[in-house]
Amino acid sequence: MGVRIGISVVIGVAMQREIRVAIELPDQVTWLPSEA
């Protein structure tokens, strides 16, 4: 069970990092809709 908790924590940190990057780098996010 300890391993499962560790994996969930790593996934949570990765998701927070992705959200943080999306907020800090809006330029890379805004050009995606224009391409589509």
Tokens of 31: 């050009």
Q: Which residues of 6-30 are buried (b: 16+ CB within 10 A; e: fewer)?
A: eeeeeeeeeeeeeeeeeeeeeeeee
The pTM of the whole model exceeds 0.85: no
Q: For residue 34, what pLDDT band results from cuts at 50, 70 and 90?
A: low
Instruction: Between 19 and 8, name the one with better pLDDT.
Output: 8
Residue 33 lies in a domain: no
Structural domain tally of the chain?
Answer: 1
The domain containing residue 12 runs over which residues?
A: 1-27
pLDDT at 19 over 70: yes
pLDDT at 35 over 70: no
Residue 16 lies in a domain: yes
Q: For residue 8, what pLDDT band results from cuts at 50, 70 and 90?
A: very high
Q: What angle do CA 31, 17, 23 make, to 5 degrees?
A: 40
Mean pLDDT of 1-29: 80
